[in-house]
Amino acid sequence: MDTQVKKTDKRIIPEVPLKNLETLWLQVGGTLCNLECTHCFISCGPKNDTIPMMTLAQVKERLEESKTLGVKDYYITGGEVFINPEIFEILALILDYGPLDVLTNGTQITAEKALRLRGIQDASNHPLRFRVSMENFEEAANDAIRGKGAYRKAVTGIQHLAETGFSPILTITRTWEEERDAEMEVQFIEFLRSNRVPQPKIKILPGFMLGQLAKNERGYNDEERVTQACFENFDITQLQCATSRMATGEGVYVCPILVDNPKARMGNNIEETLRPFPLSHSACYTCRVTGMTCKSST
């Protein structure tokens, strides 16, 4: 499908086509989280129930729909997924449909939960993978953003996952100059090794100037928007919104980044979202300039 453009009075806004629906995200934790990170781009926290947690029945409904649409893999996120009381049933159910990547802050993973996760993985032919988010390999720097005690709980969660044979990928939002990525990567990999993660891997993500980060640092300025010209030398279908959608407890959104934005809600179910989406949000600028994708494989 060709990229379509929409004229506004100020600029030409590109539309991203839905090339192929390969990935379904499910926001099973809603906007509830046990942490309140100072850069959370959807301002999740213990009191933010703007988007409710998904029930097992809601997850099942979206999975059935996804099957008929040819979805190949699944990601779950929040908020924090492990505060959903049906999380283990949800994990087992999704694995009936395909490979699953779980995004978590790691702080809720006890030894007992890790063993249960191992049992769920052993009962499935599809891979169950984890991505644990942290800020730093140093406790003080991590907890300055994630809150007191977050570092120790996340490290314990990583160790429990490692002890049960999982290799969680560490995800970190960049708080340093991009030129230092290689140097930081070495230290993060060493941190994972020291916690006995069998195959240490990390993923560095850009910060989106939304939610808490917009409040605590800065929001986007008027120049930080994409136009049609931004895609003259960049294949627009490389953006994750060309191949995925985000199901939540109150509708389906274009992507996990914009669940705080009512304009990004595309329909009540996946079927209603099978159309192009106008890239009018400033966050799309970050995706374009960083080539960012939330998926693990890149």
Nearest CB to ligand SF4, comparing residues 87 and 287: 287
Are 90 and 56 in contact by the 8 Å Cβ rule? The answer is yes
C-beta atoms surrounding 232 within 10 Å: 7
For residue 243, state whether it binds ligand SF4 (rule: CB under 6 A): no
For residue 36, state whether it binds ligand SF4 (rule: CB under 6 A): yes
The site that binds ligand SF4 (CB under 6 A) totals a number of residues, namely 25
Q: What is the distance between the alpha carbons of residues 40 and 174, in angstroms, rounded to a whole number? A: 13
Stretch that binds ligand SF4, among 61-69, 156-164, 193-201, 237-245 (CB under 6 A): 237-245
Q: Which two tokens stand for residue 262?
A: 């009512």
Q: What is the distance between the alpha carbons of residues 285 and 224, in angstroms, rounded to a whole number? A: 6
Among 23, 84, 105, 159, binds ligand SF4 (CB under 6 A): 105
For residue 281, state whether it binds ligand SF4 (rule: CB under 6 A): yes
For residue 209, state whether it binds ligand SF4 (rule: CB under 6 A): no
For residue 33, state whether it binds ligand SF4 (rule: CB under 6 A): yes
Show the site string, 121-160: x = touches ligand SF4 by CB under 6 A, - = not.
Answer: ------------x---------------------------
Task: Please name the residue that has the structure tokens 């979206």.
Answer: 62
Nearest CB to ligand SF4, comparing residues 40 and 53: 40
Determine phi and psi for 276, rounding to 5 degrees: -65, 160
For residue 17, state whether it binds ligand SF4 (rule: CB under 6 A): no
Q: Which two tokens stand for residue 117?
A: 């996760």
| Residue ranges with strand state E in the chain | 5-7, 12-16, 23-26, 73-76, 100-104, 128-134, 169-173, 202-205, 244-248, 251-253, 265-267, 277-278
Residues that bind ligand SF4 (CB under 6 A): 16, 33, 35-37, 40, 44, 78-80, 105, 133, 239-241, 254-255, 257-258, 277, 279, 281, 283-284, 287
